[in-house]
Structure 1
Amino acid sequence: MGRLTPGAPHVPLRHNRPFLLLWSGAALSLLGSRVTGVAYPLVVLWHTGDPLVMSAVSFAALLPLLLVQLPAGVLVDRVDRRRLMLGCEAARAVALAGVVAVLAAGRFSAVLLAAVAFLETSLAVVYRLAERGAVRNVVPAEQLATALSRNEARGRAAVLLGQPGGVLLQSAARWAPFLFSALAGLASLAALLLIRGRFQERRTAPPGSPRAELAEGLRWLWRQRFLRAALGFVAGGNLLLQILPLALYVLVEEEGRARSAVAVIVAAGGAGGIAGALGGTWWLRRITLRTVLIGGLAHWAVLIGAMVTTSHPLALGALFAGCGYLTGVFGVAAAVQQIRTTPDALQGRVAATSQLVATGANVLGVLVGGLALDAFGATPVFGLLGAAMAVLAAAAAATPALHDDPAPPPRPRAPTDTPPKETDDGRQRTP
């Protein structure tokens, strides 16, 4: 949908055909990635019984999150986003079809799996950065927050469904998860083909060198005082939250509880994340981004600190659901602020830099969490995490750059039920 002029009526998202196709195609693509993300280590372990080989393949699947983000951001800002997404899905389907053929023939190659895992994650990074930049070009500005809220909920639902789905498909046939993901990629490709119009604004300036363009994106992000400061605190929160599930696993082992308790607690956290993503727009209409950031950190501190007092699965599930809710709200707030304030021509590079900071924090969180749990055990680590979150909240409240918080976005106009008309270039306009 093209940008609408101020005051023009617009259709609800449920009638916005380009957005619905983009959303559903990306949902299938993301679900397929989550299914294979579980399948890679399982198929390696079942074929070799070697945890070291399993770890190597899992590492290959995660490595692009550190290596590919920044080059992918430059690529997304240099070429046509729609064509780039089509190429990613086609290449992913072909690579996964190769894995299906090898496994269905009764053969196995850890090197092949590692290479395909690296390629699939690399393509997924490019696809998601392009899709993130495309959203603002298929919905009007007034609906951007709602659209991103639905995108955030979509991602959390994919995690919630993809992990058990991958295990179930793997149990049916070792090649089944990869076939499912390949078909999901083809369905996503078909959805993209049905969308007419552009996924970016017209670009008139000739592209510079990739290094210069990357530096341009980094300079722009560095000059945004609020966004830069907020990103630092989000990265700190991500680091601490990455330790949380590890502490849960250790606590379950320490207490001698059934491992099914982990599934219940993690599912509660996932459900809370979906609810938070869907409710993120409601909060953004009523409070400032600064309040979301500081209040979220403070509430995380309370919820995680309360985990020191209990080991009961239902109580932990409720606390994890609360943490998940806040994470969902944070995801929406971060996406809205980044996409709304970043020029279209810089969307890929700025989003890639933000994702790289968050990904690096996650990797560091795993390392720090392992050391802390080995030294102190689960319950003391919950206390340390709660205290660290409280320190982050206090630091955020005292940070001058966060006082530049922009005003909350205006409430959207009441939608009209009049269907949109399409112009010759595929963009939509209201009568």
Structure 2
Amino acid sequence: MPLRRNRDFLLLWAGAAGTMVGARITSIAYPMLVLWYTGSAGNAGLVGAAALLPHLLVQLPAGAFVDRWDRRRMMILCDLGCLLATGSVAVAVLLDRVWVPQLMVVAFVQTSLSVFYQLAERAAVRHLVPVEQLPSALTQNETRGRAAVLVGQPVGGLLFTLARWAPFLFTTLAHLGSLVALLLIRRPFQQPRATRPGTVRADIAEGVAWLWQQRFLRTVLGFVAISNAVFQALTLVLMVTIRNGGGSAALVGAVIGASGVGGMLGALSGMWWLRRATLRTLVVGGLAAWAVTVPLMAFTTDPVSLAVIFAVNSYVGGLFNVVGGVYLVRITPDPMMGRVGAVATLLASGANFLGALGGGVLLGGAGVRVTVLGLSAVMASLVLLAVASPAVRGIARSPDNARMVRRLGRHAAPGRNIVPPAAGGLWLTGAGAAVQRPDGRSIEKV
């Protein structure tokens, strides 16, 4: 059956789309609310950091619980919690009772619940589509996320301009729609499994150990972690630049929305690149593209130029996410999908709060140009590290460096799985091949 006729996948896709749009709306509304109320970039950075801190603190336990609990029920509870959290902000702003500590707490809670939701949703996809359609489903999911940027942040800026409580009310309604969609899905989100023995701490340790064995993956996630922190700071740079130039919140949303166009195009082109480029080429080339575009922000205040820069950067980001998503799902066993996804997200996004916090400090003390040039130096260093990295060089001599879609997707042999079997199997990694037990743990290197 085509994905467009898969009822359960469409419900999950649409519900998650609503929550992502709402999250994008509030991600721009929180710092703008503080910036426009207090005029303090430092306070805006604090709220932004509070919204990003759960990516560091909550990821690992969330991944363990996603593998232990019923994923569908967990997502329902997350929608309920987010609904109440964003609704409380809408009421506070409507009553003109804006308080920075409250915004920090609510932003932290909302993001924490979103972490649980996204990990469960990512793990559930493989149970709602046939294995041969998984690359297409993951591409659609990444396109959905980039489209959420395209729609959410400009809409967030527009709603904020119309009424400062409106972005938070919209997000509340989005979570309500996601809740209804989840209640209508019939199929389970995981394989039948007995109650897991052991502790959550042991589960987390097992997930960390498994991913740490994937030498190439952990190295690239380190590069992505640093670049993600840089882009969090650059988003704050954009807000300050436009505000200092007399621009409106709607203009901020429009410029950031242009990044959604680039990210969506990058996601849509992911399959094209997977057929034509190797993993090593994509990693080094993507980092090099960022190193070229980031310093351009130091020499322009024109909104159109800034929009083009953000769109190009997001194109690379969208492509990276598709490639990484296909690679991660292909090598990860289902009983560990929540934990491995959590560890991967933690490594990639755990330092984001430092980007928002550090960006606010640098902007307050050094100004826009010095801040951007410093961030540009960080991006240039990542290119040099990727070229010199033994893990990235080593992947070029491994089977994993081959064009993945030629072994997956429509180029795969009939009946061949594109995700690992639930029990046993040979797993190829940058560090060698390992025989896996049914629970996903390595028995020995071969």
| Same fold per superposition (TM over 0.5) | yes
Equivalent AA in structure 1 for residue 409 of structure 2: P
Task: Find 2:13's aligned residue among 11, 20, 23.
Answer: 23
Task: Find 1:239's aligned residue among 226, 229, 249.
Answer: 229
Structure 2 counterparts to residues 197-208 of structure 1, below 5 A: 197-204=187-194, 206-208=196-198
1:412 and 2:409 matched: yes
Structure 2 counterparts to residues 259-298 of structure 1, below 5 A: 265-298=255-288
Structure 2 counterparts to residues 91-240 of structure 1, below 5 A: 91-97=81-87, 106=95, 108=97, 110=99, 114-170=104-160, 172-173=162-163, 175-204=165-194, 206-240=196-230
- Deviations 1:21-63, CA, capped at 9 Å, x for gaps: 1110000112222333444456667888888877665554443
Classify the secondary structure of the residue corresponding to 1:25: helix
2:348 equivalent in structure 1: 358
Equivalent AA in structure 2 for residue 36 of structure 1: T
**CA 1:305–1:401 in 2, change beyond 3 Å: closer, same or farther?**
same
Give the count of matched residue pairs: 402
In the alignment, the residues of structure 1 paired with residue 40 and residue 316 of structure 2 have an alpha-carbon distance, to the nearest angstrom, of: 38
**CA 1:59–1:379 in 2, change beyond 3 Å: closer, same or farther?**
closer
Check the 8 A contact 1:152/1:332 in 2, yes or no.
yes
**CA 1:395–1:43 in 2, change beyond 3 Å: closer, same or farther?**
closer
**CA 1:253–1:73 in 2, change beyond 3 Å: closer, same or farther?**
same
- Deviations 1:80-139, CA, capped at 9 Å, x for gaps: 1111111211233344455556666x4747466554433322211111111011112222
Check the 8 A contact 1:44/1:54 in 2, yes or no.
yes
> Structure 2-normalised TM-score?
0.78
Check the 8 A contact 1:268/1:320 in 2, yes or no.
yes
1:423 equivalent in structure 2: none
In the alignment, the residues of structure 2 paired with residue 319 and residue 115 of structure 1 have an alpha-carbon distance, to the nearest angstrom, of: 33
2:428 equivalent in structure 1: none
Check the 8 A contact 1:243/1:369 in 2, yes or no.
yes
Classify the secondary structure of the residue corresponding to 2:350: helix
Task: Find 1:324's aligned residue among 309, 314, 336.
Answer: 314
Equivalent AA in structure 2 for residue 191 of structure 1: A
Give, in angstroms, the shift of residue 156 of structure 1.
2.3
> Structure 1-normalised TM-score?
0.80
Give, in angstroms, the shift of residue 221 of structure 1.
0.8
**CA 1:278–1:207 in 2, change beyond 3 Å: closer, same or farther?**
farther
In the alignment, the residues of structure 2 paired with residue 103 and residue 266 of structure 1 have an alpha-carbon distance, to the nearest angstrom, of: 24
Give, in angstroms, the shift of residue 200 of structure 1.
1.4
In the alignment, the residues of structure 2 paired with residue 378 and residue 52 of structure 1 have an alpha-carbon distance, to the nearest angstrom, of: 14
Moved more, 233-242 or 205-214: 233-242
1:70 equivalent in structure 2: 60
2:332 equivalent in structure 1: 342
2:425 equivalent in structure 1: none
**CA 1:47–1:230 in 2, change beyond 3 Å: closer, same or farther?**
closer
Unaligned runs of 5+ in 2: 412-446
Check the 8 A contact 1:251/1:379 in 2, yes or no.
no
Task: Find 1:83's aligned residue among 70, 73, 77.
Answer: 73
In the alignment, the residues of structure 2 paired with residue 189 and residue 179 of structure 1 have an alpha-carbon distance, to the nearest angstrom, of: 16
Unaligned runs of 5+ in 1: 1-10, 415-431
In the alignment, the residues of structure 2 paired with residue 48 and residue 382 of structure 1 have an alpha-carbon distance, to the nearest angstrom, of: 24
1:427 equivalent in structure 2: none
In the alignment, the residues of structure 1 paired with residue 42 and residue 220 of structure 2 have an alpha-carbon distance, to the nearest angstrom, of: 38
In the alignment, the residues of structure 2 paired with residue 248 and residue 178 of structure 1 have an alpha-carbon distance, to the nearest angstrom, of: 22
Moved more, 36-45 or 339-348: 36-45
Classify the secondary structure of the residue corresponding to 1:214: helix
**CA 1:44–1:221 in 2, change beyond 3 Å: closer, same or farther?**
same
RMSD: 3.4
**CA 1:285–1:108 in 2, change beyond 3 Å: closer, same or farther?**
same
